[in-house]
Amino acid sequence: MSYLIICGTNRESSVSRVLSGIYQELLAARGIKAEIIDLAELPQDFIASALYENSGKNASFNVYRQKMLQAQKYVFIVPEYNGSFPGVLKAFIDGLKFPDTFPDKKCALVGLSSGVQGAGLALSHLTDIFNYCGMNVLALKPKLARIEDNMTAEEIDNDLYKELLEQQVEKLIKF
Amino acid sequence: MSYLIICGTNRESSVSRVLSGIYQELLAARGIKAEIIDLAELPQDFIASALYENSGKNASFNVYRQKMLQAQKYVFIVPEYNGSFPGVLKAFIDGLKFPDTFPDKKCALVGLSSGVQGAGLALSHLTDIFNYCGMNVLALKPKLARIEDNMTAEEIDNDLYKELLEQQVEKLIKF
Amino acid sequence: MSYLIICGTNRESSVSRVLSGIYQELLAARGIKAEIIDLAELPQDFIASALYENSGKNASFNVYRQKMLQAQKYVFIVPEYNGSFPGVLKAFIDGLKFPDTFPDKKCALVGLSSGVQGAGLALSHLTDIFNYCGMNVLALKPKLARIEDNMTAEEIDNDLYKELLEQQVEKLIKF
Amino acid sequence: MSYLIICGTNRESSVSRVLSGIYQELLAARGIKAEIIDLAELPQDFIASALYENSGKNASFNVYRQKMLQAQKYVFIVPEYNGSFPGVLKAFIDGLKFPDTFPDKKCALVGLSSGVQGAGLALSHLTDIFNYCGMNVLALKPKLARIEDNMTAEEIDNDLYKELLEQQVEKLIKF
């Protein structure tokens, strides 16, 4: 059973990247090795060079496309931009092999925001998208609001948030 | 009152681009001149060069950013990709001047799809996003399903679809 | 221009009812008289006696049906139940005269919750429903989270919440 | 493993009721006995007598409340009313034992409509609600549009629809 963690923004040095690392450790503590895909690593022109008629033709992008195709469970770390997920995350999904990538696989979603919503609508929208693609989404979707106030540089500093992530990892493993 | 039509994909020679032209004519027939922004014209690396810490620093992208800032009403032509809108459309929104671009402005949304849904969920998601940004969305959102079966190269060939777009234009003008 | 405020639950003596009264005063302060429909007043069996083949046949329900038909602008006060709006609010909408009640009218939505979400998803769902019915929904939708901690018996005790409602009233009047 | 099928409307002799029977046979063909809860059987005043301070106090309603509490997997047959699910279905959910009823259970959703959308938004809204309640929702959610044109009195007369339901049953059993 192979796991992938997707850091859902291409912003450099993002809080989402830090959370991806924290999630990786939560899985490691349960004996599960999960690689992180940070969207900041994608080719900067992939929206043109790896989509539509160029789908599958960008060798750099294909490395990630292939990893997404082969994984069996996913964790998406999703910051709130403009009331939903980052556009680049959806563009990444638009560049994956369709319909082969997601059917009957399983994923967990984590939302975060500077504001008070915790990316609730973003997670609802993404659930629609993944369900459309045939992937089952775990019901428990922690919404980590006011994330900057609840983290130090490398750690979550909020017991409820930590507990929710622990619960989610356990449920994802059994899902 | 200045209008902009946004062709919501960067796919070359898209059906959305054709529909954008048709919508432009519907407005012109009512004496309203509207420019089209085709996302295919955006710099191919704008997801890195025009967002986050580079926000406002890409001169080519800024041309479109400025047009979006100055318009008062918008029409978004939105194809369905993976059960929602194209990622590139959201990435474009993520690169606009925030929060100045959209508050108290008004827009109309048109959905299209090869399949039977007509981008219904895409329009729901976009409505959430624009409402979050403070922009009012016209209730009537035509969902043009099976678009390839209902168009010739340059024209809509479905009386209901044509009627819905005519109604929408009228309502947008009064909105 | 006639306004109606709908208290979106049939729970007796609800916080939503108190907020409906507060909203009524906000409108009154601007010279606008708005009646409140409290769903607690509806016939207790209206889901059977006033829907489907009985649509329009329940005289007690028809009083409210008629008021909804005649109003031009609406304010819906919407508590969060099970992650969305109260079922009784949607059942009330299902009993209204269709499609005559809502097309081209305008409304404002206010969400409230005991928890931290402020009924964000409820307002998104309702926006879909009202847009489907042809009614335009004001973009600004205050989400009053942890409402019990932010109210006294009769007053809102949170400056941001008060400011958001003031802004919403102003925008609804111009909408 | 006990299954329940919920006919998601209280309309008498509904198409949803017929579909519930068809679904029951699909499960029976795989050796699974599933009871149907038809919302038409609920006490007609349950929105007042079985909710809020009366929660758990209506003996007739409690029969259904108890069945919902004890089942492990659910199938919801959901007709589209006013662009979403029937209000009575959400009111039924509002009367269930919270938070005990749904956490970590699993369900499948089927949408139907007279029109062309197949209750797509209804199923999205319900997914939000069930996920909020902790229940996992199967990704495959058939949307049976123009249902009257695709059924005889007792049977589905559309091969795609039949195939989608067969696939869904298989997936629900393994879910």
| Residue pLDDT, tens place only, A84-127 | 999 999 999 999 999 999 999 999 999 999 999 999 999 999 99
Of the candidates C121, C124, C145, the beta carbon closest to that of A116 is on C145
D127 contacts A131? CB cut-off 8 A: yes
Q: Which residues of B101-117 are buried (b: 16+ CB within 10 A; e: fewer)?
A: bbeebbbbbbbbbeebb
pLDDT digits (tens, 9 = 90+) for A1-55: 899 999 999 999 999 999 999 999 999 999 999 999 999 999 999 999 999 999 9
Q: What is the pLDDT of residue D153?
A: 87
How near does any CA of chain D get to the CA of A44, in Å?
Answer: 32
Count of pairs with CB atoms under 8 A, one residue in B, one in C? 42
With beta carbons less than 8 A apart as the criterion, state whether D143 and B145 touch.
no
The pLDDT confidence band at residue B153, using thresholds 50, 70 and 90, is confident
Contact assessment for residue A114 and residue A122, using Cβ atoms and an 8 Å cutoff: no
Q: Do C139 and B138 touch (CB under 8 A)?
A: no
Q: Do D121 and B118 touch (CB under 8 A)?
A: no
CA–CA dist A88, A104 (Å, integer)? 24
Selecting from D116, D124, D145 the residue whose C-beta is nearest the C-beta of B121 gives D124
Residue D137 backbone phi and psi in degrees, to 5: -110, 130
Give chain B as a DSSP string. --EEEEE----TT-HHHHHHHHHHHHHHTTT--EEEEEGGGS-TTHHHHSSGGGTT--HHHHHHHHHHHH-SEEEEEEE-BTTB--HHHHHHHHTS-TTTSSTT-EEEEEEE-SSSSTTHHHHHHHHHHHHHTT-EE-S---EE-SGGGGB-SSSB--HHHHHHHHHHHHHHHH-
Q: CA dist C141 to C40, C109, D150, Å? A: 23, 5, 40
Q: State the residue range of the domain holding D71.
A: 3-174
Q: For C123, which residue in chain B has the nearest alpha carbon?
A: B128
Identify the sign of the CA torsion D97, D99, D102, D105: negative
Query: Rounded to a whole number, what is the distance in Å from the CA of B117 to chain D's nearest CA?
Result: 6
Chains linked to C by 3 or more Cβ pairs within 8 Å: A, B, D
Å between D170 CA and nearest CA of chain A: 12
| Interface contact D47-C84, CB threshold 8 A | no
CB–CB contact D88 C47 (8 Å): yes
Q: What residues of A are in the B interface, CB distance below 8 Å?
A: 10-12, 44-49, 51-53, 81-94, 98, 121, 125, 128-129, 131-133
In Å, what is the CA distance from B18 to each residue of B9, D24, D71?
A: 12, 47, 52
Q: What is the pLDDT of residue C153?
A: 87
Query: Mean pLDDT in chain B?
Result: 97
Q: Which residues of C touch A118 (CB under 8 A)?
A: 116
User: pLDDT per residue over D75-125, tens digit each?
Assistant: 999 999 999 999 999 999 999 999 999 999 999 999 999 999 999 999 999
pLDDT digits (tens, 9 = 90+) for B123-147: 999 999 999 999 999 999 999 999 9
- Tokens encoding C53: 């083949």
Q: How many structural domains comprise chain B?
A: 1
* Percent above pLDDT 90 for chain B: 99
Instruction: Identify all chain D residues contacting A130, using CB atoms and an 8 Å cutoff.
Output: 139
Q: Please report the pLDDT score of residue A35 as a whole number.
A: 98
- The chains found to touch B (3+ Cβ pairs under 8 angstroms) are A, C, D
b/e sequence A25-63, b meaning 16+ C-beta within 10 Å: ebbeeeebebebbbbbebbbbbbbbbbbeebeebeebbe
CB atoms B84 and A132 under 8 Å: yes
Distance CA C44, CA C39 (A): 10
Chain C residues touching residue A120 (CB < 8 angstroms): 117, 120-121
Q: How many beta-carbon pairs under 8 angstroms link B with D?
A: 18
D114 touches D81 (CB < 8 A)? no
**Cβ <8 Å between A138 and D136:** yes
Please tell me the pTM assigned to this model. 0.98
Among D106, D4, D123, smallest CA distance to D65 is for D4
As beta bridge partners, residue A136 has A106
Write the DSSP assignment of A93-109 as a string of letters: HHTS-TTTSSTT-EEEE
How far is the alpha carbon of B174 from chain A, nearest alpha carbon, in Å? 27
Interface of D with B (CB under 8 A): 116-118, 120-121, 124, 143, 145
A72: three-class secondary structure by DSSP: coil
The complex's ipTM?
A: 0.97
pLDDT lower than 50: segments of chain D: none
Residue A153 — very low, low, confident or very high, per pLDDT cuts 50/70/90?
Answer: confident
Phi and psi for C172 in degrees, rounded to 5?
Answer: -65, -40
| Chain B residues touching residue A48 (CB < 8 angstroms) | 10, 44
CA B127 to chain centre: 12
The chain C residue lying nearest B122, using CA atoms, is C128
When pLDDT is averaged across residues C15-29 and rounded to a whole number, the result is 98
What ranges make up the beta strands (E) of chain D?
3-7, 34-38, 73-79, 106-112, 136-137, 143-144
Question: For B139, which residue in chain C has the nearest alpha carbon?
Answer: C131
- Average pLDDT over every residue of B94-122: 97
Q: Is D125 helix (H, G, I), strand (E, B) or coil?
A: helix
CATH number at residue B30: 3.40.50.360
CB-CB under 8 Å, D82 with C90: yes
Q: Do C139 and B140 touch (CB under 8 A)?
A: no
